[in-house]
């Protein structure tokens, strides 16, 4: 069952995709912070960040650039997504990092590093959305991962090398687990995420809001990440309840208000494709019912 859209370019994913519905959810912000925690556990990957950016002084700008890239590749035109990917690849080609122990110089666009960043990000999005109550079935989770071979290609990966379902993603994380460690760079990221520098007048807001969100993102990490960071998390069931409560609270904010926040990619997509392109969780639920009927999922 596929909706009929205007003749405008639907972009890489389009309104019938799982990605289109999922990436408009407000829990994506919690998922993005979880991804940063997880990505920092790969020593070569986090070293590339630490040696090539001053994230402490431009943290908000970095977060907004990441949000803009995800929004453009999800809701923008195909041309806009391809341009965004080309910019990322061009930047990555120019940058490298040096291993302080061996003196080895390597490019941050090594396929293994790009794959880690991709899997930690997409895996975090999927994990937080599902655990917070967004209606994604196992079939839709697999579709979501398969769809993101598109975004992997944009950053320079061979789509065939990217996990396309939950089993492949689990196998990837198991394979890369021995390479992970919480060194000085990872702990600096951890310290920053818990206490980002801010204007003195905004310190109360940081303590009240940001630290709660960052703690929830950290607590949702897999057990091996807590072990590496050396800071335990509450019981799994407690974290799940907090994720669901936070998701329920944020989803009470009317979507029409949330869409007004920058970078406003959803509003531009709806203007391009028409109001029927509006992303909404209930559309995932409707698609799930179709997928779960015997013999009806393959044509979707």
pTM to 2 decimal places = 0.90
Provide mean pLDDT across the span 104-109: 96
pLDDT for position 211: 86
Average pLDDT (185-208) is: 76
Q: Round to whole Å and give the CA distance between 203 and 141.
A: 38
Residue 105: helix, strand or coil by DSSP? strand
Residue 209 binned pLDDT confidence (cut-offs 50, 70, 90):
confident
Residue 22 has pLDDT above 80, yes or no: yes
Q: What percent of the chain has pLDDT over 70?
A: 86
| Mean pLDDT of the 124-146 span | 97
Say whether pLDDT at 135 is over 60: yes
Res. 210 pLDDT band, cuts 50 70 90? confident
Task: In whole angstroms, give the CA distance from residue 210 to residue 186.
Answer: 19
Assign 4 a pLDDT band (cuts: 50, 70, 90): very low
CB-count burial class (<10 Å; 0-12, 13-18, 19+) for 127: buried
Find the mean pLDDT for residues 104-125.
97
At residue 165, the pLDDT reads: 98
Q: Which of 87, 90, 93 is nearest to 108 (CA)?
A: 93
pLDDT tens-place string over residues 63-105: 778 889 999 999 999 999 999 999 999 999 999 999 998 999 9
Over residues 204-210, mean pLDDT: 68
Distance from chain centroid for Cα 248? 19
Mean pLDDT of the chain, nearest integer: 89
Tens of pLDDT, residues 169-185? 999 999 999 999 999 99
The SS3 call for residue 96 is strand
What is the C-alpha to C-alpha distance for residues 15 and 129, in angstroms, rounded to an integer?
18
Comparing 18-22, 91-95, 197-201, 295-299, the range with the smallest average pLDDT is 295-299
CA distances from 290 to 20, 130, 139, 142, 178 (A): 17, 19, 11, 15, 40
Beta strands in the chain (DSSP E): 96-98, 105-107
According to DSSP, residue 277 is labeled G
Reported as a pLDDT band with limits 50, 70 and 90, residue 230 is very high
Backbone angles phi, psi at 97, to 5 degrees: -140, 160
Contact at 8 Å (CB) between 7 and 265? no
CA 203/CA 214 separation, integer angstroms: 15
Contact assessment for residue 169 and residue 163, using Cβ atoms and an 8 Å cutoff: yes
- Burial (CB < 10 A; 0-12, 13-18, 19+), residue 298, is exposed
- Per-residue confidence at 59, pLDDT binned at 50, 70, 90? low
The pLDDT, as a whole number, for residue 205 is 64
Does the pLDDT of residue 206 top 80, yes or no?
no
- What is the rounded average pLDDT of the residues 135-162? 97
Unique residue bearing structure tokens 């391809």: 82
Does the pLDDT at position 57 exceed 80? no
Please, which residues bridge with residue 106 across strands?
A: 97
Q: Is 157 in contact with 118 (CB distance < 8 Å)?
A: yes
């Amino acid at each position: 069952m596929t909706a009929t859209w205007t003749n405008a370019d639907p972009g890489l994913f389009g309104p019938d995709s799982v990605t289109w519905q999922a990436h408009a959810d407000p829990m994506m912000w919690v998922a993005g912070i979880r991804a940063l925690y997880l990505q920092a556990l790969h020593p070569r990957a986090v070293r590339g960040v630490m040696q090539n950016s001053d994230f402490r002084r431009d943290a908000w700008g970095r977060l907004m650039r990441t949000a803009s890239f995800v929004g453009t590749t999800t809701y923008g035109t195909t041309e806009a997504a391809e341009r965004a990917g080309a910019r990322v690849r061009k930047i990555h080609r120019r940058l490298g990092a040096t291993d302080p122990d061996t003196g080895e110089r390597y490019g941050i666009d090594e396929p293994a590093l790009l794959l880690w960043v991709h899997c930690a990000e997409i895996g975090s999005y999927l994990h937080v959305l599902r655990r917070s109550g967004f209606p994604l079935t196992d079939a839709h989770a697999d579709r979501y991962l398969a769809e993101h071979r598109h975004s992997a290609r944009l950053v320079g990966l061979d789509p065939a090398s990217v996990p396309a379902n939950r089993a492949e993603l689990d196998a990837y994380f198991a394979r890369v687990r021995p390479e992970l460690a919480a060194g000085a760079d990872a702990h600096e990221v951890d310290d920053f995420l818990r206490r980002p520098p801010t204007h003195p007048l905004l310190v109360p807001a940081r303590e009240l809001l940001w630290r709660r969100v960052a703690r929830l993102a950290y607590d949702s990490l897999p057990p091996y990440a807590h072990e590496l960071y050396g800071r335990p998390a509450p019981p799994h069931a407690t974290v799940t309840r907090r994720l669901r409560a936070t998701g329920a609270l944020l989803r009470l904010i009317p979507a029409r208000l949330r869409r007004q926040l920058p970078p406003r990619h959803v509003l531009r997509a709806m203007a391009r494709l028409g109001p029927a392109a509006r992303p909404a969780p209930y559309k995932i639920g409707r698609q799930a019912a179709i997928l779960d009927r015997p013999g009806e999922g393959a044509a979707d």
